[in-house]
Chain A
């Protein structure tokens, strides 16, 4: 059984620091309430609108279809129930699906002109960005949750490796989350959904392969550590091995934070053009 360990984050300690900080700056609770209301309203609206159009259904169906096909194929061919192939394939499947999920988030608003009402509501730009991001993340989470059917059948058919499984699912959500942030940013740049889609795929692709051996082999030495750190894929495969390292988690959270920040900047830049 592969090891499954969380690198030492002193959870209790960091929480209490955070609490002290919050106390020191002490946001008025009405203000916090307002931020929550805004983000939730946007989140709900966007999440519902996924189900008002075919995109959510297509995403869920395709994802479940492809993942179960790969799983059962390996099961019947090799007579071995394992998820490694499934998880290994996911970065490439997400590459096409996730930019399709995020492409409309801003591009459509710009095209329809609804962004003008949205951004003149008493909501801060970053609240809209976060709300939209969380909506797309919720769709991803629902889909990934539904695909739990597969590992459940694994545990029925054979002896699943709990560590790989939990690690794999966390890795899936983290990597998908990073793709979503990139796709969201791509969507802020244009009012054309197709362009947003292509730009999203390209950026995710570059970030995915940048840490691969073939690429690293050809990079100059001084770039080597940067590339190998920035590559989305390397962090994912280390999570897949069942090692949930805090550095990988921090890496993914930084990528998400960075692209959400860029999105907020990009949205705000409308004012100056």
Chain B
């Protein structure tokens, strides 16, 4: 639904987006992750036809972003960073305006307004002016605005910023829900958010895409090796002799011996299902297992590895 090819955009000497290429399809939740100034907002602004690119192409819902921008805009809902809204309008008045410019048929306007009020939890503030709302409620009104025409593509720039923890969870669930049938592209700085919500992650740094994959793929790519913590009740010599014969074990370290239980930290080749294999080894030898834990690589490490700029 979104196809981006070698998109490049500079502000004067700053290259904000540099040769960005990616695809996205319906049924995906795509997380856009990157440090401040990485180019997330700029990329989204190009996709929503707010800005033009210097080079490259992008199609959204089959329409060219530069040539058929009105068609593109009909197919997306967009929540810009920090949810800019008309502070002098009432919440209902604002949503009403949106139903008009989104060309909803008169018969559906009430119904859709009702629906987004329910979805975004705006019931308590419908009487108020937007200027009176707290940051979190403004964010929700912004989200409501982007959903009002039930768009097939949703582009959200930091949708959870300024929300309270329970609302964050609600929004994440909402995003997941929408992402079952539609395409959601959202940006964030918060790592747990992407692993909790996204089916795919794009990590962008200095305007370039540095990683593109599912959260699991990215975690394993980062290290290329898995770490297993294991503790076995058995003679130490026997265990170590056995470990030396196992092909997938690239390294083992004795960690502790405690009351006849011997603990090891084992480094295994990536994707070898080391934990399972070790379990079978233990069973075959009639030993007893007291601990078995495969360490999943933290996404945080991946992110830092990919985005920390090389010093010197």
Q: Give residues in A with beta carbon < 8 Å to B.
A: 34, 37-38, 40-42, 44-45, 48-49, 52-53, 112-117, 119-124, 270-273
Q: What's the minimum C-beta distance from A115 to chain B, rounded to whole angstroms? A: 8
Q: How far is the CA of A55 from the CA of B253 in the complex (A)?
A: 77
B100 touching A270, Cβ below 8 Å? no
B305 beta carbon closer than 8 Å to chain A? no
Residues of B within 8 A of A270 (CB): 50-51
Residues of A within 8 A of B80 (CB): 113, 116-117, 120
The 3 nearest A-B residue pairs measured at CB: A113-B84, A41-B100, A271-B52
A120 touching B49, Cβ below 8 Å? yes
B50 touching A123, Cβ below 8 Å? no
Seed contacts A34-B103, A123-B73; 15 additional CB < 8 Å A-B pairs? A37-B100, A37-B101, A40-B100, A41-B101, A44-B100, A53-B88, A114-B85, A116-B84, A117-B80, A120-B80, A122-B71, A122-B101, A270-B50, A271-B51, A271-B52
Residues of B within 8 A of A272 (CB): 52
Residues of A within 8 A of B51 (CB): 270-271
Q: How far is the CA of A116 from the CA of B74 in the complex (A)?
A: 15
Which of B52, B71, B87 is A112 in contact with, Cβ under 8 Å?
A: B87
A112 touching B102, Cβ below 8 Å? no
Q: How far is the CA of A270 from the CA of B42 in the complex (A)?
A: 13
B78 touching A52, Cβ below 8 Å? no
Q: What's the minimum C-beta distance from A91 to chain B, rounded to whole angstroms? A: 31
B101 touching A119, Cβ below 8 Å? no
Q: How far is the CA of A120 from the CA of B76 in the complex (A)?
A: 9
B70 touching A122, Cβ below 8 Å? yes
A112 touching B101, Cβ below 8 Å? no
B88 touching A121, Cβ below 8 Å? no
Q: What's the minimum C-beta distance from B201 to chain A, rounded to whole angstroms? A: 24
B114 beta carbon closer than 8 Å to chain A? no
Known contacts A116-B45, A117-B80; A49 and B88 CB within 8 A of each other: yes
CB contact list, B132-153 vs A, under 8 A: 142, 145
A-B contact pairs, 27 of them (CB 8 A): A37-B100, A41-B97, A41-B100, A42-B101, A44-B100, A45-B89, A45-B97, A48-B93, A49-B88, A49-B89, A112-B85, A112-B87, A113-B80, A114-B85, A114-B86, A116-B50, A116-B80, A116-B84, A117-B145, A119-B49, A120-B50, A120-B76, A122-B70, A122-B74, A123-B70, A272-B52, A273-B11
A52 touching B89, Cβ below 8 Å? yes
Q: What's the minimum C-beta distance from A126 to chain B, rounded to whole angstroms? A: 12
Which of B70, B74, B88 is A124 in contact with, Cβ under 8 Å?
A: B70
Known contacts A117-B78, A120-B50, A124-B70; A52 and B100 CB within 8 A of each other: no
A120 touching B86, Cβ below 8 Å? no
Residues of A within 8 A of B70 (CB): 122-124
A121 touching B86, Cβ below 8 Å? no
Known contacts A113-B80, A116-B50; A122 and B88 CB within 8 A of each other: no
Q: What's the minimum C-beta distance from A123 to chain B, rounded to whole angstroms? A: 6
Residues of B within 8 A of A53 (CB): 88
Known contacts A49-B89, A116-B45; A121 and B52 CB within 8 A of each other: no
Q: How far is the CA of A112 from the CA of B45 in the complex (A)?
A: 16
Q: What's the minimum C-beta distance from B45 to chain A, rounded to whole angstroms? A: 7
Identify the closest chain B residue to A53 (Cβ): B88
